[in-house]
Amino acid sequence: MRRLAAVSREAAALGLRPGQKATDAMALVPGLVTAEAEPEADARALTALIDWCVRYSPAVAADAPDGLFLDITGVSHLWGGEDAMLDDLRGRLSAGGLPFRLAIADTPGAAWALAHFGRDGTIAPPGGQAEFLKPLPPEALRLDPQAAAQIGRLGLRRLEQIIALPRAPLARRFGAATLERLDQALGRSREALTFRRPPTPWVARLAFVEPISTPDDMARVTQDVTAKLCARLEAGGHGARSFEVAFHRVDGKALPLTVGLSLAGRDARRIARLFEPRLETIDPGFGIECVTIAAYAVEPVSGRQGRIDADLSTAVEDGLAPLVDRLVNRLGPERVWRAGPAESHVPELAVDRAPALGAPPPEAAPWDREAPRPIRLFRRPEPVEDVTALLPDDPPLQFRWRGRLHRVRRAEGPERVAEEWWKRDVEDVSVAHVRDYYRVEDADGVRFWLFRAGLYGASEAPPKWWLHGLFG
Amino acid sequence: MSDFRGLRFAALAAKIAALETGGRAAAGALPFGDAGLDDHLPGGGLPLGRWHEVTGAGLEAETSAAPAAFAALMAAPLARRGQAVWVLRRDDLWAPGLAGLGFPPERLIQVCARDEAETLMVMEDALATVGVCAVLGEVEGVDLTAGRRLQLACEKRGGTGFVIRRRPFGGSARKEATGSVAATRWRVGPAPSEPPAGEFGLGAPRWRVELERCRGGRTGAWILEAAKAYSWEAGDVAHPLRLVARLGDRELAPAQPAQRRAA
């Protein structure tokens, strides 16, 4: 059955409402124009709007399907008060052509209630949300449908009637969730919001009178906004490992750029330089009117006094940490690593890739240096053919690899590597997974690491030979 | 008279060296610890603050196992002083193998670049970094401009570069660059090992090493061996490469070019 998912203001005036059957609606309004609902597109649009709202506060939480919470604690003064901030938001949203309702209150519950059922643009003063909530209907509490129906049946039409009820019978009759919602709206209990990203108090923003668009300007404002945030980090004795700059375009899109540091830092010039090569990926469109920066993974960093002969000593930019940062940000974190031991006898599992800097020392025992291991290990072992070897477990006498026949002059082995049977089902364990490794040297001196998968006589198919690596 | 000539000659050589390094003090040399090899190199050892080219012959041009092992051992004493960076195109370098040869893998940062230009860029960037003593890179070829840039990066902080010439798998052979700014060029291939008398199996890994080009030095060919490879003392020697034998000196016998192994 087709139902209406949403209606426009004009349709609502004609008596249509969401949830109505499409056929009923067509009967009521014969000239009704409908479009298919696209929940995924709506969700994407909401995400875009949330990204855009970062210009007001870094703590934005989605209220699916059609709302969002903005935690403006401590940021409204940047706009000169809550009403000025609300006006600014209203002006920008109207310019975007979005229908909306706004409200500001102490608690998310009260703000939700006022935005959905109160007068648009209500600002409840601190501690005064109860007065504003009283005339609203019970649905304003975000109740589950059962409790809402029960409340409606009992003739409770306004929230003040519910607020006046004694707590214990209220919980017993309508469920603990109802009481919880009431407490959350009135600020008597806390409500956890799922923010788009962990809120951080380390934010800075720059707004421009005239939108900017040239690459030089973008580089300069990136430096300025980074310097602004880094000055605060330095004053607080902190450094951060991740920075996100967002460029807010005139048309309402926010374009983020993220860089990471291997060690927490707050050197504005260095951080701005990491952003620089990637600024060209930002399309300024008709101009950028505002830029914000947020620092994540903030940790205390002790300051260091500059030496009196600082000009002679090496610049920080030439050190190892900035090099690793440059490489990681340019190539990606998976392309820069330091190999560390991992506890496994299976060759391809014996290496653990750790970040190049700042990783704790490995817990695994170091590699056994007495066991000869090749310097080149193929990601996939390569098959070798025409293997001549004495049964059951002698090293090969000759083999063919990449079309060339190699006669073995010296050989060592076997070194048996069994599969890690304790990690899988007992049924999957088989002798066919046992590998016998041999180190062999051909007549020219090339040293190979061969293995035979499986044992002779264990199954009908003869075991196969593979080349897993090359010694230098 | 001969003394006077010798002095004049030494003064002239020093003058040329000063011109070549642009007035900076030379970064010194890393001796191999064997006069048979060090005599061929200017300053009595592998020149530091320069970059060196290591190539492989035949199959090794693609797999690059012997050149990589040889370059790692040349760089191992440097890596023990600071940090080393290895720039790869295909990440088949295996740290346990490096550890067995005596290269400290905990001092090595591995970087996997996406193309040739990026490899050279990362090498340059790493060479100009304080604390990075050795930078190894796997590159198909270095042209004159790229070589000059590498050299400038080396001179900036006295870092030493090792360019391992490696052809991508399945790629066709590119014409070898004729001129090069590298301080030395080595051609490395595996050589049959000799286990100690009375023992079976393989001996210490050996390489046939030809010094094909050397600025301010002489060419030569040797058989070198990894000292104490695959033992717990692998890293505890002065230089992990040991001279086993000296092959024909090409300066003395120019008519017969050194036989290149075909494998």
The DSSP string of A170-223 is HHHHH-HHHHHHHHHHHTSS-----BSS---S-EEEEEEEEEE-SHHHHHHHHH
Task: Quickly tell me which residue has 């050397």 as its tokens.
Answer: B214
Phi, psi of A411 (to 5 degrees): -150, 155
How far off is chain B from A361, nearest CA to CA, in Å?
10
Distance CA B65, CA A131 (A): 79
Cα–Cα distances in angstroms (integers) from residue A215 to residues A55, A205, A222, A283, in the given order: 21, 19, 11, 10
Q: Do B111 and A327 touch (CB under 8 A)?
A: yes
User: A412 to chain B nearest CA, in Å?
Assistant: 5
**The pair of three-digit structure tokens given for residue B74, joined into one six-digit string:** 């040349």
Residue of A320, A326, A472 lying closest to B205 (CB–CB): A472
Residue A396, pLDDT score: 92
Per CB-CB distance under 8 Å, the chain B contacts of A402 are 59
**Token digits of residue A464:** 């196969």
* Interface touch A351/B96, C-beta < 8 Å: yes
Whether the CB of A441 is below 8 Å from some CB of chain B: the reply is yes
| Through-space distance between the first and last CA atoms of chain A, rounded to whole angstroms | 71
| Residue in A136, A80, A77, A78 with CA at minimum distance from that of residue A103 | A136
Dist. CA A241–CA A358, nearest whole Å: 11
Alpha-carbon gap: B15 to the closest alpha carbon of chain A (Å)? 27
Q: Please give the pLDDT value at position A303.
A: 64
Please report which helix (H) or strand (E) contains residue A356, including its range. Answer: none
Query: Does A372 sit within 8 Å of B230, measured CB to CB?
Result: yes
Residues in A touching B95 (Cβ below 8 Å): 339-340, 351, 367
Give the pairing of strands B108-112 and B83-88: parallel
B69 forms beta bridges with none
DSSP state of A305: P
> With contacts defined as CB-CB under 8 Å, which chain B residues touch A337?
109-110
DSSP-derived letter for residue A469 is E
Residues of chain A neighbouring B83 (CB-CB closer than 8 A): 320
Inter-axis angle of helices A176-186 and A167-174, nearest 10 = 130
- The minimum CA-CA distance between A396 and chain B, rounded to whole Å, is 13
Cα gap A215→A34, rounded to integer Å: 44
Window A:363-392, CB contacts with B under 8 Å: 366-367, 369-379
Q: Give the helix/strand (H/E) hosting A413.
A: strand A404-417
Give me the residues paired with residue B51 across strands. Answer: B161
Integer angstrom CA distances of residue A197 from A51, A53, A200, A255: 10, 13, 9, 16
pLDDT for the residue numbered A141: 86
Inter-chain contact A370–B157, Cβ cutoff 8 Å? no
Pairing relationship of beta strands B51-56 and B184-191 according to DSSP bridges: parallel
Chain B residues touching residue A377 (CB < 8 angstroms)? 92, 94, 97
Half-sphere exposure of B65 (CA within 13 A, CB side): 25
The conformational region for residue A202 under phi > 0 = left, psi -120 to 50 = alpha, else beta, is: beta
Are the CB atoms for B84 and B108 separated by under 8 Å?
Answer: yes
Domains of chain B: 30-169+178-194+205-246 (3.40.50.300)
Report the b/e string of A287-324 with b at 16+ CB within 10 A.
ebbbbbbbbbebeebeeeeeeeeeeeeeeebebbbbbb
The secondary structure of B188-219, three-state, reads EEEECCCCCCCCCCCCCCEEEEEEEEECCCCC
- CA distances for A419 relative to A343, A364, A451, angstroms: 13, 19, 13
Kindly write down the DSSP assignment for every residue of chain B, as one continuous string: -HHHHHHHHHHHHHHHHHHHTTTSPP--EE--S-HHHHTTSGGGSEESSSEEEEEE-TTHHHH-SHHHHHHHHHHHHHHHHSEEEEEESS--B-HHHHHHHT--GGGEEEEE-SSHHHHHHHHHHHHTSTTEEEEEEEES---HHHHHHHHHHHHHHT-EEEEEE-PPTTPPPPPPPSS---SEEEEEEEE---PPTT--S--S-EEEEEEEEETTS--EEEEEEETTTTSTTTT-SS-SEEEEEE---TTT-TTSPPPPP--
Of A335, A369, A447, the CB nearest to B205: A447
For A117, other C-beta atoms within 10 Å of its C-beta total: 18
Top residue of B64, B94, B108, B156 to mutate, by most chain A CBs within 10 Å, is B94
User: What parts of chain A have a pLDDT lower than 50?
Assistant: 310-316
Tokens 């270095």, located at residue:
B142
Q: Do A323 and B201 touch (CB under 8 A)?
A: no
**Closest chain A residue to B83 measured between Cα atoms?**
A320
Q: What stretch of H or E contains A267?
A: none
Residues 6 or more apart in contact with residue A404 via CB below 8 angstroms? B59
Residue B177's pLDDT is 56
Smallest CA–CA distance, residue A378 to chain B, in Å, is: 6
**Which of B203, B89, B72, B76 lies closest to B141 in space, CA to CA?**
B89
Measured distance CA(A189)–CA(A175) in Å, rounded: 16
CB distance A444–B111 less than 8 Å?
Answer: no
Determine whether the interchain pair A320/B111 forms a contact, defined as Cβ–Cβ distance below 8 Å: no
Enumerate the residues of chain B whose CB falls inside 8 A of the CB of residue A442. 263
Spell out which residues of chain A touch residue B123, defining contact as CB-CB under 8 Å.
none
Which residue of B105, B128, B261 is in closest CB contact with A318? B128
- Considering only the C-alpha atoms of chain B, give the largest distance between any 2 of them, rounded to a whole number of Å: 60
CA gyration radius for chain B? 18
For residues B72 and B103, is the Cβ–Cβ distance under 8 A?
Answer: yes
Tell me the three state secondary structure of residue A86: helix
Q: Which two tokens stand for residue A277?
A: 């090569």
Q: Which residue has the tokens 């003739």?
A: A155
State the helix-helix crossing angle for A215-235 and A268-275, rounded to 10 degrees: 140
How do B46-47 and A238-249 pair as beta strands?
unpaired
- Residue A68, both tokens: 């969002």
Instruction: Point out the residue among A327, A335, A375 whose CB comes nearest to the CB of B93.
Output: A375
How, if at all, do strands A288-300 and A435-442 pair?
A: unpaired
State CA B180 to chain mean position distance. Answer: 15
> Which structure tokens are listed for B258?
């050194």
Which residues, 6+ apart, have CB-to-CB distance to A416 below 8 Å? A434, A435, A436, A437
**Secondary structure (3-state) at A237:** coil
Tokens of A237: 């004795």
Range 311-370 of A in CB contact (< 8 A) with B = 314, 318-320, 322-324, 326-327, 331, 335-341, 347, 350-351, 356, 366-367, 369-370
What are the tokens at A173?
């009759």
- Only one residue has tokens 């040329």, namely B16
Show the domains of chain A with their CATH numbers: 55-186 (no CATH), 203-306+318-327 (3.30.1490.100), 376-471 (no CATH)
Tell me the nearest-neighbour CA distance from B114 into chain A, angstroms.
Answer: 8
Judge: A472–B122 Cβ closer than 8 Å, yes or no. Answer: no
Using the 8-state DSSP alphabet, how is residue A116 labeled? H
CA A402 to chain B, closest CA, distance in angstroms equals 10
Nearest-angstrom CA–CA distance, B210 and B223? 9
Task: Please answer whether residues B43 and B26 qualify as being in contact, where contact means their C-beta atoms are separated by less than 8 angstroms.
Answer: yes
Looking at the partner chain, which of B96, B201, B231 has a beta carbon nearest the beta carbon of A412?
Answer: B201
Nearest to A67 by CA among A147, A142, A159, A146: A142
For residue A472, list chain B residues with Cβ-Cβ distance below 8 A.
65-70, 72, 97, 101, 190, 205, 207
Q: Which of A338, A344, A470 to mutate to test the interface with B (most CBs of B within 10 A)?
A: A470
> Which residues of chain B have a CB within 8 Å of the CB of A326?
125
Laid out side by side, the sheet with A203-212 consists of A203-212, A288-300, A238-249, A254-265
Contact across the interface for B263 and A446, Cβ inside 8 Å: yes
- The β-bridge partners of A69 are A61
Question: For A435, which DSSP code?
Answer: E
pLDDT per 10-residue tile (average), chain B, 263 residues: 77 78 68 88 88 88 91 92 91 92 91 91 91 92 88 88 86 60 91 86 91 88 89 79 78 48 46
